[in-house]
A and B are shown apart, each in its own frame.
Chain A
Amino acid sequence: MAHGPAKGFSRWLFTTNHKDIGTMYLWFSFAMFLLGGVFALVIRAELFEPGLQIVEPEFFNQMTTMHGLIMVFGAVMPAFVGLANWMIPMMIGAPDMALPRMNNWSFWILPFAFAMLTSTLFMDGGAPNFGWTFYAPLSTTYAPPSVTFFIFAVHIMGASSIMGSINIIATILNLRAPGMTLMKMPLFVWTWLITAYLLIAVMPVLAGVVTMMLMDIHFGTSFFDAAGGGDPVLFQHVFWFFGHPEVYIMILPAFGVVSQIIPTFARKPLFGYASMVYATSSIAFLSFIVWAHHMFTVGMPVAGELFFMYATMLIAVPTGVKVFNWITTMFRGSMTFETPMLFSIAFVILFTIGGFSGLMLAIAPADFQYHDTYFVVAHFHYVLVPGAIFSIVAAVYYWLPKWCGNMYNETMGKTHFWLAFIGLNLTFFPMHFVGLAGMPRRVPDYALQFADFNMIASVGAFLFGAAQILFLYNVIATIRSGKKATAEVWDNPEGLEWTLESPAPYHTFSVPPEVK
């Protein structure tokens, strides 16, 4: 009925098709994941043993900075946008995204942003070296010249995310099939709707904070310079006002993915759908009033310290509700453990461990000991790697047969899972210990008592990295050939996307389906 894709490179350059754009987002984010991973391996190689062996401290700081920036803005966020592009129209019965041309734009500016960011590595003075949190004045008065390129790159990423979010909101609010009421939407769509609002609220704040930096550096203002009446602490407040919702931006869509996968493999509907929606909304709301828990040691009045401590502890409640709901969904189901389910179960367990260390960090007096140590590094890697990354990988295994029409190799998928699972725990679990024992983060060298655990962590990191090559191979092999997948792919999964044939045709739902 509808015409197919254009041929050659122009198909990708000019495409306005949500599936093409989703595919490009996913490949782009995987490329960034590998690049950021290489930077992480440079860090772990240097930290394999005490002493300086491989890189100079200057370059080490550039690696930690670039690793953080690329993983957050290049790997995790575009991957979720890619999943949204592919799945949201198919899940709500829409023919495409609401704003297809803007969709093309919001993808194609990303490669330029990251080319610019990565090119700073080759510039005079080196790449940004002030950490992904770029605290002033280290990132203003004391920054390498490449900071200006960093600022522009952040602006472009921000613009991309904002356009993507507007598109997603417009699609969800406007293009739902008849009968698809808000409270009937799949949870992935719900979590993305809330995430998109978060993005629209805080990406302009990030743009604002880098703009203020730019003006401080080049135009003589002093937002963050005490000499001119500014305050470096203001930077941290504005940054974390963006930064805390940002961490939920990276985890809410993951909640959505897992809430799709677990019911399928438990063969039982999601437990507490409505409470999941309310819990997600309250997490999003709370994310705006807890930012200063990243700054407990900055010297706040005790009332502020107490407020942010209590508010932060409260987040444990809706997060707990979600975990309990997932487990109750599994309870008395009829479970099988295909690769997407394995990744989702690991998500629930390991994300909960990350949540526990988060709860510990919320206790302000204890945070005086945890703050800026490897304990924090362990905490946020536990919520981001088995949290965000595992959910993305689970989503890829779950929907790949729908996308390309072929079944992936289950044995290889499970091998990938176990290698990644072991590698990740070897890497990040020991970090809790060295952090508690007193190792600060972002150091290129460390005292001898931290040596053993660091060595284990480095070995784990290389194992985790190697496992991703297997993933890449499995995905490419599946796209090229493999057992043909049925329309349903899995055993009676719920959702409109499974009513389409596999692979999903280039144009779907040109006539909206009827939802009962």
Chain B
Amino acid sequence: MLNKVGRPFARLLALASMVSVPVQSWAEEVERWGMNMTPGVTSVSQEIYGLHMDIFWWCVGIGVVVFGVMFYTMIVHRKSKGAKAANFHESTALEILWTLVPMIILGVMAYPATSTLLKIYDTKDADMDVMITGYQWKWKYEYLGEDVSFFSNMNTPRDQIENRAVKGPNYLLEVDEPLVIPVKKKIRFLITSNDVIHAWWVPAFAVKKDAIPGFVNDSWTYVEEPGIYRGQCAELCGKDHGFMPIVVKAVSQADYSEWLATKKAEVATLKALTEKTFTFDELYSQGESRYNTSCAACHGSDGEGGVGPAIKGSLIATGDITEHLSMVVNGSSKNPMMAAYGPQLSEVDIASVITYQRSAFGNNMGDSVQPIDVLKFKQNK
């Protein structure tokens, strides 16, 4: 216990001592501490960074003048120094002056802000479209016209979040499948939501748009440099709002084409897999990992429940297997929290997750369902 408490305080002490360390360069320090907005990797994000720094320096300038006068008067015009109070209390000229000067400064700022805004709103003539759908609590990416779509879940292990394991360098900012986009292409994002309002935000692109259920928003980016860019959901969307990161991998056009081909092949393989008969153990072990990414947030990694009901000993997981299948595929008609996973998970995933739930946590049903049965159920045969 002592150790646990002691560690953060030791770090705090280290922090305090760092202040006295001679500073190499101001910019480096700002960079190392993560104190400022990222300039980002797109022309829009760099323009926004420029606006941000401009307005910041205007504020600093005004602050120096205003607080300068204020501290001067506080030091000089104090009673203890024998200052006698003057009695002036009006000056129309001054009032006009300090109304007009800020107006002019605002005008100077408004002009570049307007032109950047118009640029941000210009979504026309995109090279490709990606549809982004927010879900509680993950993102779905759909490449329009390519028949490729997938979900992107956070894959930071629960052990790291609950402090049982050392946190990795990309703690909370890592996903199982990142969005992959080519560089030097104008990419339009179509953003919507499946349930509540989310917001898709990647600081390096300066793209932040709300995902609103029933409506579509658009935004765009043009990335210059290949790299991995990380962001987070920026609108409170319920329990796991802090746990739905965004990872975008920008790659060269050649790498992108290759990735897309692999992805399409995967879809084909998955279709083929649906026809395959799996053993119980195969389903069970695959089901465990799928359960942890898709179900554990609500039902608990130990199946004891949480926001959602317990799986352990539940009537559905230990009852009729068709009912169980229906609950996973179609969702609950009573509780909107239990969404329909039919459109979200592959047949193989659904089969394995059901198999896992029925035998894990001491449920011991021992039965299983095959992907082809799931497909037939979905097609209502």
Contact = CB atoms under 8 A, between A and B. Distances in A.
B172 A447 contact: yes
B117 A267 contact: no
A317 B242 CA distance: 37
A314 B110 CA distance: 11
Contact of A365 (B66, B87, B117): B117
Contacts of A443: 232, 241-242
Interface string A28-63: 000000000000000000001111110001100100
Given A359-B55, A445-B243, A449-B34, A336 B80 contact: yes
Contacts, number: 290
A171 interface: no
Interface string B29-54: 00001111110000001011001100
B126 interface: no
A331 interface: yes
Given A52-B162, A272-B89, A320-B98, A436 B113 contact: no
A56 to B, nearest CB: 8
B239 A57 contact: yes
B74 A369 contact: no
Interface residues of A, number: 98
Interface string A315-329: 011001101100111
Interface string B186-216: 0000000001110101010011111011110
Residue of A302, A317, A363 with highest tally of chain B CB at under 10 A: A363
Contacts of A445: 161, 172, 242-243
A360 B56 contact: yes
A334 B48 contact: no
Contact of A268 (B86, B94, B95): B86
A170 interface: no
A364 interface: yes
Contacts of A357: 59
Nearest to B235: A372
Interface in A115-171: 129-131, 135, 137-138, 141-142
Given A61-B236, A436-B35, A232 B212 contact: yes
B63 interface: yes
A368 B213 contact: no
B315 interface: no
**5 interchain residue pairs of minimum CB distance:** A226-B214, A443-B242, A299-B217, A356-B59, A437-B34
Given A309-B117, A335-B83, 19 more contacts: A51-B162, A131-B236, A135-B197, A142-B238, A233-B215, A274-B90, A298-B217, A299-B210, A317-B99, A324-B66, A328-B94, A330-B70, A336-B80, A360-B59, A366-B52, A372-B208, A445-B242, A445-B243, A447-B173
Interface of B: 8, 11-12, 15, 33-38, 45, 47-48, 51-52, 55-56, 59, 62-63, 66-67, 69-70, 73-74, 77-80, 83-91, 94-95, 98-99, 102-103, 106, 109-110, 113-114, 116-118, 120-121, 160-163, 167, 169-173, 195-197, 199, 201, 203, 206-210, 212-215, 217-218, 231-243, 307, 336-337
5 contacts: A302-B117, A328-B91, A330-B77, A352-B66, A364-B113
